[in-house]
Structure 1
Amino acid sequence: MQTQWQKIGGVAAFFEAFAYIVGFSVMLTMLQPAGGASATPEQQLGHILSMSALFKAWNIVIYVVFGAVLAVLVIALHARLASGAEMLMRVASAFGLIWSGLVIATGMIANVGLSTVAKLYIEDPRSATVAWRTLNAVQDGLGGGVELVGGLWVIVVSVVALRLAALPRSLNYVGICHRHGWCAHPDPAPWRTGRGFRHRSDCLVCLARDCVDIASGGHWSGA
C-alpha cells in the first residue's frame, strides 16, 4: 500500500509540475493583452472576456484540477514521511489540505465571477472592471496574494525531510528559505491576470523534487 501511494504521489507531483508549464505558457502568450503589463485594467478585462472560454479552462486546470491533485500529493507525502515525524506531518498535511481547498475555491470563484462580470461589462465596462478587481482581491485573500498556508505546508515538510534526511538537503533549504520569503513579503505588484498563479510558481522546484523522490520510492541522503 505504501509503495502504491508513492507511485500515485509521483504521478500527482508530475501533473502539478506539468500544469505549471502549460499554465505559464498560456498565461504568457494567449492570455496576455496587447501592451502586456502596461495595459489598463479595462483593457485586461476586455481581453479576458474576449477569450473567456480559454480563461475558464485555464482556471479549471491551474486551480480546480491542480487543487484536487494537490490533495493527493499531500497524502502521499504524509505517507512518505509520517513514520519519522508523525505529529509534524499531521500539522503539515493539515496546512496542505487547507491549501488544496483554497486553491480549488479560488478557481471556482474566478469562473463564476467572470460570468457575472461579463454581463455587467456590456452595460458598464468601468463598473465591470471595478467588480473584477474586487473579485481578484477576494482571490488574493484566499491564497494568491501571500500564499501563507501553502508556504507553511512546504516549510514544515521541508523541515521534516531535512531532519529525516529523506530528500536532498540543499532542496530542503530552498523550500524553507524560499517559502519563508513569500510568507513574509507579499507581492505589492498591481492587479493583473493570473497573479495568484504566479505566486504559486515558486513551489515548482519543490514539486519537481517530490516527483523524483516519490516516484522512485528511494531515500536521498546527500546535500
Structure 2
Amino acid sequence: MDSRFRLGGIAALVCAMCFVIGFTMILFVMPDIHVNGDERLQAILAQPRLIQSWYLIIFVLFGIALLLLNRSLYLPPAEASGQLQLIGALIGYVWAAYVFAIGFISVLTIEYLLHQSATQIEQAWPAIFAIQTGLGDGVEWIGGIWMVMINLSLYYHRVVSRQLSVYGGIVGITGLFTLYPPFAAVGGVFGVLQILWFCWLGSLLLRQKVRLLPT
C-alpha cells in the first residue's frame, strides 16, 4: 500500500509539473504557438524538436501520470464497489486516452510536415490544425468532468479534507465552462487552479494522508 500511495503522489506532482511546463512554454518561451493556426505553423517549422518535446510532456507524459494517479486512488474492484467511483475512474481513463490522442497526433504530424514541401505543408496544415483543435486542444472540459466526479467521491467518502475536495470541485466546474466557445480562455484558469490541486493531493498521498476510494 505504501508504494501505491507513493506512486500516486509522484504521479500527481508530475501532472502539476506538466501544467507548469505547458504554461511556461505558452507564456514565456514561444507565445506564438497559441495565437492562431498560421502562427503555430511558423513556430513548429522554426523549432520542431522543441515543440515535439513539449507536446510529449504536456500530453503523453501527463496522460501516463494521470493514469497512475487515477488508479492509485481506488481500491481493487474485488474489495469494494460504488457506481459514482466507477464512473469517476472511467472518466479518468477517458481523459488520459484523450490527451494521448492529442499528443501523438500533434507529435507525429510535426514529423510529417518536416518531410513535405512548402506547397504540401500549406495544403495539409489547415486539416491538421482543425483536427488538433477539434479534439480539444486547449479545451479542458473532459478534465473538468473528471475533476467534478473524483472530488464528489473524495467528498462523499471523506477520503481527504473537505477543503481539498470542495476546491477540486470548483476547479472542475471551471473546466466545464470551456465547453462554451466564448469561455475557451477559461481553460488557462482551469490549468492554473489544477496545478495547486495536483500538488495538494500529491503531498497528501506521499504522506499517506489519504484513504483509497472504493471502485
1:207 equivalent in alignment to 2:198: yes
Deviation at 1:190, TM superposition (A): 11
Q: 1:100 aligns with which of 96, 101, 119?
A: 96
> Equivalent residue for 1:175?
168
SS at the partner of 1:79?
Answer: coil
Amino acid at match of 1:63: F
Deviation at 1:120, TM superposition (A): 4.8
> Equivalent residue for 1:147?
140
Contact 1:84 1:164 in 2 (8 A): no
Q: 1:77 aligns with which of 65, 73, 79?
A: 73
SS at the partner of 2:104?
Answer: helix
Greater CA drift, 183-192 or 13-22: 183-192
Q: Measure, in 2, the Cα distance between the counterparts of 1:190 and 1:120.
A: 36
Could you tell me the percent identity over the aligned residues? 20
Contact 2:143 2:175 in 1 (8 A): no
Name stretches of at least 5 consecutive residues in structure 1 with no aligned partner.
Answer: none
Amino acid at match of 1:33: D
1:13 equivalent in alignment to 2:12: yes
Greater CA drift, 176-185 or 53-62: 176-185
Q: Measure, in 1, the Cα distance between the counterparts of 2:65 and 2:128.
A: 27
Amino acid at match of 2:135: Q
SS at the partner of 2:179?
Answer: coil
Shift of the 171–97 alpha-carbon distance from structure 1 to 2, 3 Å rule, reads same
Shift of the 115–198 alpha-carbon distance from structure 1 to 2, 3 Å rule, reads farther
- Give the TM-score taking structure 1 as reference length: 0.78
Q: Measure, in 1, the Cα distance between the counterparts of 2:210 and 2:18.
A: 26
Note the 1:21-32 alignment, pairs <5 A: 21-32=20-31
Aligned residues: 210
Q: Measure, in 1, the Cα distance between the counterparts of 2:67 and 2:15.
A: 11
Name stretches of at least 5 consecutive residues in structure 2 with no aligned partner.
Answer: none
